Chain A
Amino acid sequence: MKSRYSIFSLMRNALSYHEKWPEAWRSPEPKSSYDVVIVGGGGHGLATAYYLAKIHGIRNVAVIERGWLGGGNTGRNTTIVRSNYLWDESAGLYEHAMKLWEGLSQELNYNVMFSQRGVMNLAHNQQDLRDIARRVNANRLNGIDSEFLTPHQVKDLVPIIDLRGNGRYPVLGASNQRRGGTARHDAVAWGYARRADEHGVDIIQECPVNGFEIENGKVTGVQTAKGLIKAKKVGVVVAGHSSVTAEMAGIRLPLVSHPLQALVSEPVKPVIDTVVMSNAIHAYISQSDKGELVIGAGVDKYVGYGQRGSLPVTEETLAAICELFPSLKRMRMMRQWGGIVDTCPDASPIISKTPVEGFFINCGWGTGGFKATPGSGWVFADTIANDRPHPLNEAFSLERFNSGYLVDEHGAAAVAH
């Protein structure tokens, strides 16, 4: 058992100048075989391993990561967490995640800095208003907190907004989820890693998976840079690289990978204490604890595995931010980066068994999977442990692209992020 993080451990370690903190997780060499191998050490993969060990008692588990923990989209996103999705299936999944978020720092004994500062989605035209009203009502029927804000109420919460949107993007109203907010993305990966490790999970970094061993339609192992690792079951959670990885097992997916980018500004004093999103014009803004404005943009329209993002997309987003928040016009941007997001035709994830026995896939979260991290890991662990989907992810099967039973969260749910 590792030492607990607490005010006392902090004080104790202060005495040794914080030079004697024990490592948060081991870095073992892989064993020759595991009950379950999770491919991908992002938040979703690490959460899956943690819940496999903690809830299902499956401790002979490895997480195999090509780079470093959280170096994928987990460490690149704008950290918006909300659960106000339109359809019942999505509401169930994302609200389950929200409830886990609400106790996550305690559960992990790691401060994930979950801050329920509220998330607002703006309406700029009559159709936006109708969509928002519909979604707010659908959320309430599902027991999810959701409210409609008039322009006046928006201004009260966000004084720096120009309700006229400089004449281009007038604010006619907004939806608001007060339980929504942000979390510290790296801490989520590290917190799950530390806890999973404590439960016996081997975390193996800098070890790309290059193929799978499949015998008679059943997976038996994973080919890695560190050699063959036998596995009874394999769970693949590799976000933007899902199509490429599934193809190694002969599985086709309906995904398209795009770069999605974000930016942060120079740090300033607090100017905005909630999250404002405008899906119509692809601009999202919040302020980090360090004072930087965190701004999310849209995806490049074409298939891309370059983790950067195209300049016209940056320009479009910043132009929209300047119209809505004229006082930010002279802010300078410090950093810009991109991540590869795996977009799915219905803007909903795939958490599913596959035609290969013992081979499970969790992907398609696209531009908005950070908010689902705890819930995604929880249902995926349950699915892998029991060889069948949990009721919460039954609708999110790969099969739905044959049956046509899509969970269409595009547009209707203000789906981005």
Chain B
Amino acid sequence: MLEIKCPYCGPRFETEFSYGGEAHIERPKDSENLSDEQWGEYVFMNSNTKGVFLERWVHTSGCRRWFNVARDTVSYQILAVYETGTKAPKLDLRKDV
């Protein structure tokens, strides 16, 4: 069970939250000129990082606001919680296999 610290409500159990997958994926601006490969990359491809991963969560059973989390996907340790629209804080983005 994860304990996630909602930036607006404080620490709560994982069951109060829903998951939004990888963070910082921007919708392509020049959409009418994109190739199928570029669309494929935007819609489907995923970093699926083993190590520190930047991801989105929403506090569904609480304030219902979205925010970002930096979490180690092996130890599940949460390294940072930060607001949507802001840059990830500087972290040691370790990756291991």
Contacts and interface: CB of A to CB of B under 8 A. Distances in A.
A244 interface: yes
A253 B36 contact: no
Nearest to B48: A243
A345 B45 CA distance: 9
A254 B37 CA distance: 12
A306 B40 contact: no
A140 interface: no
Interface residues on A, range: 20 to 34
A241 B97 contact: yes
A257 B73 CA distance: 10
A312 B46 contact: no
Contacts of B37: 402
Contacts of B13: 312
A303 interface: yes
Contact of A402 (B36, B50, B97): B36
B72 to A, nearest CB: 9
A254 B42 CA distance: 10
B36 A255 contact: no
Q: Which of B1, B21, B45, B53 has the most CB of A within 10 A?
A: B45
Given A243-B47, A310-B1, A301 B19 contact: yes
Interface string B1-36: 110000000000111001101000000000000001
A245 B96 CA distance: 11
Contacts of B48: 243-244, 253, 255-257, 303
A252 interface: yes
Given A310-B2, A310-B14, A312-B15, A253 B76 contact: no
Contacts of B84: none
A210 interface: yes
B86 interface: no
Given A254-B46, A305-B74, 13 more contacts: A241-B50, A241-B97, A243-B48, A252-B41, A256-B46, A256-B48, A257-B50, A302-B19, A304-B76, A306-B74, A310-B14, A312-B15, A402-B40
8 contacts: A252-B41, A254-B46, A302-B2, A303-B49, A310-B2, A312-B14, A401-B43, A402-B39
